Structure 1
């Protein structure tokens, strides 16, 4: 999904500062991670709405798109989840 992203300069590159999702602005409160490939860059950011986003920048087209979204609620659920194997291991100790 293509999105409009406002950026700021961080050293040699521009990083997301704010983006618009369904017309609503979301401020980037934290740059969690970023990684680069040939012709693209991914930025994992935390939004002002508490959600986690992965934004992909296509350097050849100068386009940003939303690659992944995890709401604050889904992060809380998955953060507390333990696999059955971990639970069994805990019971055996």
Structure 2
């Protein structure tokens, strides 16, 4: 399965946001910031990564509904999609 072009931009945006947030968390730890602030920002990173993963899985589900992947390969099976989804849970 290849990430659809439309979904790819959204996924990359979320991953870049998570990358920036993670750099912020590292800087906060190095600066000795309060653990509550660090954990709050770390949770934001986690949510951004989860959203990127869910977008990728949703793209795969859409390919399954259409019956074919964009690159002409067979779409993921229901079991494969379920496994991917549960990986994010």
Fold in common (TM above 0.5): no
TM-score between the two structures when normalised by the length of structure 2: 0.25
Hey, which of these two has a bigger chunk of helix by percent?
2
